[in-house]
Amino acid sequence: MNNKPDRPLALKEIAPILDKMRRYHDDLDEALVKKAYRYAKKAHQGQKRLSGDPAFTHEVVVADILADWRLDTASVVAGLLHDVVEDTNKTVTNVEKHFGEEIAELVGGLTRVGQIRLRGSESDGFVENLRKMFLAMSKDLRVVIVKLADRYHNMLTLEYLPEDKQVGIAQETLEVFASLAERLGMGEVKGQLEDLAFPYCYPEEYEELIEYAQPYYKKAEDRIEKVKREILRALAAEGLRVRIDGRAKHLYSLWRKLARPEKDGDIEKIHDLMALRIITKKKEDCYLALGVVHKIWQLVPRLGVRDFIAQSKPNGYQSIHTNVFLADGQIIEIQIRTEEMHEQAEHGVAAHWYYSQAKSRQGASSAELEEGKIFAPQEKMTWVQQLAAWQDEIVDSQDFIESVKFDALKHRIFVFSPKGDAYDLPEGATPIDFAYQIHTELGNQVVGAKVDGQMVSLDHELSNGEVVELLIDRKRKGPSANWLDFVVTRLARRKIKKNLRR
């Protein structure tokens, strides 16, 4: 029942990563990856992680995770370099000199998002805002993905951190990172992040659930073995070649499901403790397999079939789910999908790089496209519309990468108070807009502003990620009329006018 991934917690070598990358990358620039490895290793020399491992092993594992997700070379290189600006004396300019603009931008983005303080949630709106801010500051979706790999490894080694820090990090992982993974369709990553955070956030509930669920998982596992053999036999008789993937349901997601009113905490009402997945080569085979399954076992009327192939979920998830009665009366959920749908369900947006590369390599025909060899354009995501860009048809990988360079919310910026509180402002906002956003009195008393420690004029245009410190004079009576020439928020304009009238 434990989904703990079998991944090295510390990795010192680049060779296994290059091996992985070669498998999905025809014209891999090995020299570039090796150069990044040497560069980062040298920069991090002498540093240690709290686990006692040399600091640099972390960066190598992050790169390894990215290679597992089959990310492009720039992302893997950025994985190796992701902490050099933050933790060593290297600057983004240094990185650009050695690795070019694209990689420097990724590393810059990683450094920016690394500085966001994602505090505990106060309201749903706040958490949602953080997620948006995170995306807006990332600019390029690959930054988010590298950050997810980074967080994933940090969660795997969380036990080495001081106890007082563990809960906060785990909470942030649940609220922000797992949900970002979900929005990006990276279902497996989401499940793993949640399971890693679960025991830190809800230790008692976690213990209780393990004790309660263990025997049921065991039974489900035994059952799945039998079912698997039966399905393979029946499908082979129809001439269908498939692969079957059986995996235990993630614990956190089980816990959440048990909390639903209709489940009433009863594990007997959960039918997907072990997810049984029939993975086919072609889309048509999914429907053939569904027919075969229904010939062997009776469909559970109430639960029925849900066809997320005909109508995919908003995050791009595709699969057919069916619930059937086994011979012993037990209900089991079976999911049917193609290899590509499976890959996407596990790796979401990250899978696109692989398939966009695969396509440019083999020149997939449009017929293959329709067969689901490459993800078909799907319904647009409602959440932050621009995210839909990654689901659009991919012409080649370069185009795809361009399309996911994230310009969602490009008309919004996020700036910080010196305490690290985040504020969301329109593009072109000035320290005056910022001041009125916080408090009217503050706006009325501003006499100067510092941005990232440097004095700026009051009409200075703020940019993403800047820390804004306001200098105030409590004796100041009110705003200046000329502020109206440059403020951009309606709020500031209104308050200034109101105070001028007085």
Q: Residue 85, Cβ neighbours under 10 Å: how many?
A: 22
Cα gap 48→337, rounded to integer Å: 44
- Cα(198)–Cα(213) distance, rounded to whole angstroms? 15
Q: Which is nearer to Mn ion, 170 or 492 (CB)?
A: 170
Nearby residues of 500 by Cβ (< 8 Å), 6 or more positions away? 478, 479, 481
> Quick one: DSSP state of residue 26?
T
Q: Which is nearer to Mn ion, 72 or 150 (CB)?
A: 150
- In this structure, are residues 284 and 337 in contact, taking their beta carbons and an 8 Å threshold? no
Q: CA 454, CA 463: separation in Å to the nearest integer? A: 14
Q: Smallest gap, in angstroms, from Cβ of residue 353 to Mn ion?
A: 21
Number of residues binding to Mn ion, judged by CB under 5 A: 2
Binding segment toward Mn ion, per CB under 5 A, in 83-91, 122-130, 233-241, 374-382: 83-91
User: The tokens of 493 are what?
Assistant: 């304009």
- Please report the DSSP string for 462-494 in residue order: P-TT-BEEEEE-TT--S--GGGGGT---HHHHH
Q: What is the 3-state secondary structure (H, E, C) of 199-268?
A: HHHCHHHHHHHHHHHHHHHHHHHHHHHHHHHHHHHHHHHCCCCCEEEEEECCHHHHHHHHCCCCCCCCHH
Three-class SS state of 426: strand
Rounded Cα distance, 360 and 378, in Å: 20
From residue 83, alpha-carbon distances to 131, 162, 294 in Å are: 21, 20, 52
Judged by CB under 5 A, the residue of 21, 49, 73, 83 near Mn ion is 83
The catalytic residues are 86-87
Q: Cβ 63 to Mn ion, closest distance in Å? A: 11
CA 445 vs. chain centroid, Å, equals 41
- Residue nearer to Mn ion on the CB measure, 50 or 471: 50
Query: Judged by CB, which is closer to Mn ion: 143, or 409?
Result: 143
Could you give phi then psi for residue 415, rounded to 5 degrees?
-125, 165
Of the candidates 75, 76, 110, the residue with the CA atom closest to the CA atom of residue 90: 110
Element (H, E) at 446: strand 446-451
Q: Which is nearer to Mn ion, 63 or 135 (CB)?
A: 63
Supply φ then ψ for residue 74, to 5 degrees. -60, -40
Pick out residues in 119-178 that bind Mn ion (CB under 5 A). 150
Q: Which is nearer to Mn ion, 150 or 272 (CB)?
A: 150
User: What does the block give as tokens for 109?
Assistant: 């983005």
Beta carbons of 75 and 98 less than 8 angstroms apart = no
Residue 64 in contact with Mn ion, rule: CB under 5 A: no
Residue nearest to Mn ion (CB): 150
Query: What is the residue whose two structure tokens read 């989401």?
Result: 190
Q: 65 to each of 16, 137, 150, 338, 348, how far by Cα in Å?
A: 11, 23, 9, 23, 14
Task: CB nearer to Mn ion: give 72 or 83.
Answer: 83
Stretch of 15-23, 78-86, 90-98, 272-280 contacting Mn ion, by CB under 5 A: 78-86
Helices (H), 15-70: 15-24, 30-43, 56-68
Q: What's the closest the beta carbon of residue 408 comes to Mn ion, in angstroms?
A: 24
Nearer to Mn ion, 148 or 336 (CB): 148
* Nearest distance, CB of residue 86 and Mn ion, angstroms: 8
CB of 77 to Mn ion, least distance (A): 15
- Give me 348's structure tokens: 């979401």
Question: Which one, 63 or 349, has the nearer CB to Mn ion?
Answer: 63
Which 405-434 positions form the footprint of Mn ion (CB under 5 A)?
none
Q: Which stretch binds Mn ion (CB under 5 A): 35-43, 75-83, 240-248, 258-266?
A: 75-83
Report the nearest approach of Mn ion to the CB of residue 150 (Å).
4
Smallest distance from Mn ion to CB 84, Å: 10
Which stretches of the chain bind Mn ion, using CB under 5 A?
A: 83, 150
